[in-house]
Amino acid sequence: MKKLILFVLAPGLLIGGGVGAGLWAAGRGGHAGPVEDPNRPKLMIKDGSETGKASSAPDPAVIDPSKYQASYQPMEQNFTSNLRDTDGFLQVGLGVSTFYDHRVFDNMKRAEMPVRSAVLEVLAQQQAETLNTEQGKAALRKQLTAAINNVLKSQEGFGGIDNVYFTSFVIQ
């Protein structure tokens, strides 16, 4: 009887315990992974429904625009800034887009002051010669998108802005 316990049951218990511990450590032990924040913005499918996924913001290049609904919102006030190393100035109106639900725009409204400050900081670093080219304007749009998302991430915990658009653009 001792030999049966020693050579059959004990190794069986050890192997079973090892498998159980391995599955639990891998997240299969009744734990489905990290709990998603229900207040986090969700991607919007083209039919207007939410994906149900509140994952971290994927790279905008990964989001398939044919599957998701973009929403647009203009920023209420224009921005005016001196240009770097010149007496000229730039005045722009901006709008933003997101593939996420209304919570991204709600976050922008709450963080309006730091967002405006970040936009003005980016604008003040621009040169008129660069902004007179299509490549310069495209680069500025990318810089503004990154600046706005950085503020939203630090203030609200989630970025979600996929693109910035010019609604007006004047260099003097």
pTM for the full predicted model: 0.72
Under CATH, what is the fold of the domain 71-171? Tetrahydropterin Synthase; Chain A (3.30.479)
Q: Is 159 left (phi over 0), alpha (psi -120 to 50) or beta?
A: alpha
Considering only residues 79 and 28, tell me which one the structure prediction assigns the higher pLDDT. Answer: 79
Q: How far apart are CA 122 and CA 129, in angstroms?
A: 16
Residue 108 half-sphere exposure toward CB, CA atoms < 13 A: 27
Residue 145: Cβ within 10 Å count: 19
Q: How far apart are CA 155 and CA 153, in angstroms?
A: 6
Domain residue ranges of the chain, discontinuous segments joined by +: 1-33, 71-171
Considering only residues 156 and 13, tell me which one the structure prediction assigns the higher pLDDT. Answer: 156
Q: What is the pLDDT of residues 50-84, one digit of tens each?
A: 655 544 445 555 677 778 889 999 999 999 999 98
Specify the range with the lowest mean pLDDT, choosing from 14-23, 143-152, 162-171: 14-23
